Structure 1
Amino acid sequence: MRLLLSLFLGLFLFNCNAQNNITQTKTKTETVLNANPKLVVGIVVDQMRYDYLTRFYSKYGNGGFKRLINEGFNCKNNHYNYVPTYTGPGHASIFTGTSPKNHGIIANYWYDKFSKENVYCAGDSTVLAVGSDSKAERMSPHRMKTTTFADENRLFTQMRGKTIGISIKDRGAILPAGHSANAAYWFRGREEGHFITSTYYMNSLPKWVKDFNASKTAESYLKEWNTLYDIDTYTESGSDLNTFEGGFKGKDNATFPYDLAALKDKNKGFDIIKATPYGNSIVTDFAIEAITAEQLGKDNYTDVLTVSFSSPDYVGHNFGVNSKEVEDTYIRLDKDLERLFNALDKKVGVGAYTLFLTADHGAVDVPAFLQTAKIPSGYFDNDAFKNQLNTFLVKEFSASDLIENISNDQIFLNKNRLKQLDLDIGDVQYAIVNEIINYKHIDKVFSSETMQNANFTSGIKALLQNGYHQKRSGDVLIVKNPAVISYSRKGSTHGSGSNFDTHVPLLFYGNGIKRGSTLTKTEITDIAPTISALLGISFPNAATGNVLEFVLD
């Protein structure tokens, strides 16, 4: 009898424990599935090469870039998987999880084959500016053909999760926030110095934005720009006085210090702030105010804040990769990031938000500087190229009007003229490819037929194909030699498929993110699927990237 009773009690206790374990396991699983961050913050630094993390590392404090590196996950071998590497395509690709081949933002500006005009990636004639009377600020995301992860989060939360986009540049605010954003704000310089938006989002600025604009924060940054630390300690960059930098109108040399108040009238008023580290500072000020005023991360629905720091791009274009100005800009950006992170800790909560930081492209060293180091580089003469090509077309086809447009290293043919002359488009493309491959500074040339009929998986051909949109791209695609640019002899630019343009930082931090690093190659299109997987929401509707499972906790 005792034996039977013991067996009964044993089975009873086993079943209870088993049921309890099942309940605990189920509860634990449900907790993980529902432990979404209160806020996702997507940070893009405009024109940030990966080596800016390592080159200036000793100058950074512990609360900015180093906090993300040491407490988050560092993808050290992160690249763009397409060309052209420009701002518009970069921001769209980060947040849609796909390349221009699908989202359609093939450049900042491009030639529209149907309207026969150049169009801007964020331009929209059907809307008006809000907060400015300027006719140049009519902007929306309507040219972007796909959703962002912010759009998918809005749909998933029945529009309860907010999305706010902020940047100096309109495209840096608009494209990341997506189509369904509550707002996108950008900085209108010139004589105004205000953050504005468009009627795509609202008909009048919220009170907190009006109050920010009225606070004269922009005016406070019209001050002296000098190096944050002793300039002699800036050993990670070249000499301050050199022949490779542009500088500001009204100042003879591109050397520190810069009196912005004195220079503003000759440099488009408040626009001068954009080309200094203070452009990052005012974006940080505005982003912190947005977190408070919009109550981001304060309820049970995940919100999304996108912040694009555009000023490094303006500084890089003006002064070049190797300049003291670029070094100072990143040292000061590190301080602004620390301010932003501290505000997130205080207002949203430590461990309550997820954040990533990346860049929309890198940049090439000034070719004139590279030449002094005997590194192959140079400048492409667009006018000479057009004249040489036109001479060939007249000789070959007895016509001087076969080309409608040449832009973004693409040639657009005049289809109507080809039809009138009974010329086969494939034959003309083939003839141009075989002609211009012989021209100076041109490395490779491909026709649109090649892009459409082949499937490339590696190398520059794959990058071109991922950047090629059948309806929007040109008929012939040109690849220049590495470090050969169509630009002035002073300052830097970008746009190529070379590593200096494609290799950019990718740092994840916060809720749901492991600590660590990897040298495994990742691609910019992997960010949106990874954030979507973390949130448990649908991927952006054309996403082609992969979930970086090793990043997620």
Structure 2
Amino acid sequence: MRYWVVLPIFAQVLIRLYPMKFSFVFFLSLLFIKGVVVSGQNYKPTQAPKLVVFLNIDELRTEHLITFSHKFSQFGFNQLIKNGTFYHRGNYKTTTSFRGTKLLNIHTGSYASTHGVIGSAWYNAQQQSEEKASYFYAPNAQVQPDSGQIIFPRLNCSTISDELNIFYKGKSKVAAVSLSPEMLAYQGFLNDELTFWLNRTTGRMINNSDSAPPNWAQKYNDMNFADMYIQRQWGPASDLNDYHEYISKGPMPPRHFMYDMKERDPLFPYQKIIGSPFGNVLLRDFVASLIINEELGKDKYPDLLTISLSCKPFVDRPQEMFDVEMEDMLIRLDEQIESIIQLVRDDVGLEHTLFVLSSTPSIGWLPQTLAKNNVSTGIFNGKKTSALLNLYLMAIYGQGKWVAGYNDKQFYFNHKLLNEKQINLEEIQDKAANFLLEVRGIDKTITAYHLRVNEYTTGIFNEYQQNYFHGRSGDLFISLKPGWTEEINGYKKVSLEQNFYTPLIFFGWNVNSTQVLEPVNMIDVAPTLSTILQIPEPNGCVGEPLQEVVQ
């Protein structure tokens, strides 16, 4: 086995002194060790790719790629955009902003009505408490809360990685790398020994296996890159006046930022790395080591690698999509994207590799920005509205806790109390739906009964129907007016009433250079990959292969 840690002394010195600027030397050393020769061939393959690389970038929007394109190099994001099939308007058609639901839409080719994960949590009527979609089990949580195992959600259908694993009888390697373990839970089958995330207590990359990490991963950890990063500061990469946030010159000077990477919390000393450019650098270097030492894409069985990057900064305040910190992370992330593409080009070959770039955006304009520009906006509080609704129902039906719970624009009624009082469920649903239409900020309401007995083909009701899962979903659903946000535990969360289109890009392998401006459904990704890999589609898949990619 070839371990990348046998680096030339000058490379180690440069990496330690200038991690943000010169860590590309790391890749040069990797390629030097393997004796890779760069090829300029434009070979068009006829067989399935040997490696599929998912690049999921949290909070990336299509507007970012277009607005900042002149700041990116020609070999990073711009290479994907210009040489790949770029869908500008990827749509998840989901009623929740939860990333896990969106990821499962991609990997299962189905909606929450099939895979079952309707959000980060839902109300469990039998236990009369909130039930989380997944959680992280740490046996020694008081000392190392990130050291443990991911408890996967109860999915009701297979994913593309499940089908790949079954079809090739475990011969395909399915790997995933992230700074946080939670998001790794929503991609289906993963090899435990090849599933890695950052331990915020130790600064080491750890996996989901009870056994020790591979030797190459231990040697990577022994380089203590995370220790180097928390000694540094994060400030703007260029003049603040060049950032989009400050294109309008006002009387006030640009808001400068300079963040220390050290975290005061002794339990999570490496926490800030996750929401900084250093986190993406750390992942890039680790991914390079994984690809080379695990020899991904080197045999006749196709492998799958998921890399969860981010452009969402750790700042503890409400954020907007063109904040200077987010733009700075994206400009720096462009270098990591370029490095990953170059490594794969030289080690596996682009003709044997299919890149799939996607995102899970949820950040838009803040209410104060909309109000300042005379755009209708407001703040909605679901918990307070739930209490108000319960008062209304008590005025009709008498004392009692008629509303058992609320979560993610869904109201859950107390079925036990309804049975005791012999009150018809559909009746109370309709009365509550009509009442809530009078509440400020609520645009539409629909009951679970109507979602079950009717078929909606367009609009928000269609989205609620596609995301309705009996036994987990609520009894009554609402949508907010455009521009409104929901207040959750004191924080502001931009609602999906602002249309969040995600970029979707296929690059490498046999993909043509195409720009697609029409909306595309993200559930079409899984059947597209199944067609390309020549394996069965996930068993709950309702998407269709994207013709621009598979033809």
The Cα of 1:225 is off from its aligned counterpart by 0.6
Check 1:517–1:40 CA distance in 2 against 1; reply closer, same or farther (3 A cut).
same
Alignment partner, residue 516 of structure 1: 514
Q: Deviations over 1:474-513 (max 9, x none)?
A: 11111111221123899874451531x2x11001001121
Asked whether the 8 Å contact 1:239–1:323 carries over to 2, the reply is: no
Partner of 1:120: 132
d(CA) in 1 for partners of 2:479, 2:92 = 16
Could you say if the C-alpha distance between residues 416 and 124 of structure 1 is closer, same or farther in structure 2, counting changes exceeding 3 Å? Answer: farther
Contact 2:313 2:326 in 1 (8 A): no
Shift, 1:279, TM fit: 2.1
Find the aligned partners of 2:149 and 2:521 in 1 and give their Cα distance.
32
Is the CA contact 1:508–1:551 (under 8 Å) kept in the aligned structure 2? yes
CA gap of 1:390–1:63, structure 2 versus 1, over 3 A, is same
Q: Is the 8 A contact 1:83 1:496 kept in 2?
A: yes
- 1:164–1:306: 8 Å Cα contact kept in structure 2? yes
Q: Distance in 2 between matches of 1:129 and 1:301?
A: 38
For 1:197, the equivalent position in structure 2 comes to 207
Q: How does 1:422-433 map to 2 (within 5 A)?
A: 422-433=422-433
2:147–2:199 CA contact under 8 A, matched in 1: no
1:385 is aligned to: 385
Matched with 1:363 is 363
- 1:26-425 → structure 2 map (5 Å cutoff): 35-123=47-135, 133-134=144-145, 137-178=148-189, 183-189=194-200, 191-198=201-208, 201-222=209-230, 223-235=232-244, 255-261=256-262, 264-265=264-265, 268-312=268-312, 314=314, 318-425=318-425
Q: Take 2:164 and 2:315, find their aligned partners in 1: how far apart are those partners?
A: 34
| Residue 376 (structure 1) shift | 1.2
Go from structure 1 to structure 2 and tell me whether the alpha carbon gap of 1:377 and 1:57 turns closer, same or farther (over 3 Å shift): same
CA–CA separation in structure 1 for the residues paired with 2:485 and 2:251: 20
Inter-CA distance 141–397: structure 2 relative to 1 (3 Å threshold): same
| Contact persistence 1:274–1:311 (CA under 8 A) | no
Distance in 1 of aligned mates of 2:202 and 2:301: 36
Distance in structure 2 (CA, Å) of the matches to 1:113 and 1:483: 32
SS in 2 for 1:351: helix
Distance in 2 separating the partners of 1:209 and 1:492 = 39
Residue type at the aligned position of 1:150: S
The residue type equivalent to 1:215 in the other structure is M
CA distance in 1, matches of 2:188, 2:228: 28
One-letter amino acid of the counterpart of residue 192, structure 1: T
Aligned partners of 1:279 and 1:63: how far apart in 2? 21
CA 1:241–1:293: 2 relative to 1, 3 Å:
farther
Aligned partner of 1:20 in structure 2 is none
AA in 1 matched with 2:326: V
Shift in Å, 1:171? 3.0
Give the distance between the partners of 2:402 and 2:490, measured in 1 at CA. Answer: 34
Question: Against the structure 1 CA distance between its residues 342 and 315, is the aligned structure 2 distance closer, same or farther, given a 3 Å change threshold?
Answer: farther
CA displacement at 1:348 relative to structure 2: 1.4
Equivalent residue runs for 1:445-484 within 5 Å: 445-484=445-484
Q: Secondary structure at the match of 1:405?
A: strand
TM-score, with normalisation over the residues of structure 1? 0.84
Structure 2: which 5+ residue stretches go unaligned?
1-42
Q: In 1, are the aligned partners of 2:244 and 2:322 still within 8 Å (CA)? A: no
Greater alpha carbon shift after TM alignment, 296-305 vs 461-470: 461-470
CA contact (8 A) 2:108 2:158 kept: yes
Shift of 1:387: 3.0
8 Å Cα contact 2:136-2:151 kept in structure 1: yes
Report the 3-state secondary structure (helix = DSSP H, G, I; strand = E; otherwise coil) of the residue aligned with 1:477. strand
SS of match in other structure, 1:308: strand
1:496 aligns with 2:496: yes
Structure number with greater Rg is 1
Distance 1:180-1:93 versus aligned 2 partners, 3 A rule: farther
Q: Deviation digits for residues 268-289 of structure 1, max 9, x if unmatched?
A: 4211112222222222222222
Q: 1:88 to 1:489 in 2, by over 3 A?
A: closer
Deviation at 1:197, TM superposition (A): 3.1
Q: Are the structure 2 counterparts of residues 96 and 270 from structure 1 closer, same or farther at C-alpha, using a change threshold of 3 Å?
A: same
Q: State whether residues 442 and 481 of structure 1, in contact with CA within 8 Å, keep that contact through their aligned partners in structure 2.
A: yes
Q: 1:106 to 1:312 in 2, by over 3 A?
A: same
Identify if the C-alpha distance between structure 1 residues 525 and 242 changes in structure 2 by more than 3 Å, giving closer, same or farther: farther
CA distance in 1, matches of 2:491, 2:389: 28
- The amino acid across from 2:534 in the alignment is G
Shift of 1:258: 1.4
Shift of 1:523: 0.7
Q: CA deviation at 1:317?
A: 6.9
- The structure-2 alpha-carbon separation of the partners of 1:55 and 1:181, relative to structure 1 and needing over 3 Å to count, comes to same
Q: Offset of 1:232 from its aligned partner?
A: 1.7
| Alpha-carbon shift at residue 400 of structure 1 (Å) | 3.0
- Cα distance change of structure 1 residues 236 and 438 upon mapping to structure 2, 3 Å threshold: same
RMSD: 2.9
TM-score where L is the length of structure 2: 0.85
Looking at structure 2, the residues matched to 156 and 407 of structure 1 have their Cα atoms a distance apart, in angstroms, of 38
Shift of 1:207: 2.5
Aligned to 1:532: 530
Match of 1:85, SS state, is coil
1:70 aligns to what SS in structure 2?
helix
Contact 2:436 2:445 in 1 (8 A): yes
Does the aligned pair in 2 maintain the 1:44–1:307 contact within 8 Å? yes
What amino acid sits opposite 1:78 in the alignment? G
How many residues are matched?
Answer: 506
What is the SS of the residue equivalent to 1:319?
coil
How far the C-alpha of 1:193 sits from its partner, in A, is 2.2
The letter of the residue matching 1:542 is G
- Following superposition, the deviation at residue 122 of structure 1 comes to 2.5
Q: Distance in 2 between matches of 1:232 and 1:423?
A: 63
Conservation of the 8 A alpha-carbon contact between 1:149 and 1:539: yes
Aligned equivalents of 1:462 and 1:152: distance in 2?
28
- What SS does the corresponding residue of 1:77 show, helix, strand or coil? strand
User: 2:326, 2:95 → 1: CA distance?
Assistant: 24
Q: CA distance change for structure 1 residues 454 and 165 in 2, over 3 Å: closer, same or farther?
A: same
Q: Which sections of structure 1, spanning at least 5 residues, go unmatched? A: 1-30, 244-252
Deviations 1:324-363 (A, max 9, x none): 1111111111111111111111221232200110112342
- Secondary structure of 2:312's counterpart equals helix
Sort the Cα spacing of 1:549 and 1:445 in 2 relative to 1 into closer, same or farther, 3 A.
Answer: same
Counterpart AA for 1:235:
H
**CA contact under 8 A between 1:436 and 1:445: conserved in structure 2?**
yes
**Alpha-carbon distance change, 384 to 490 in structure 1, aligned in 2, over 3 angstroms:** closer
**1:38 shift after superposition:** 1.2
What letter matches 2:486 in structure 1?
A: S
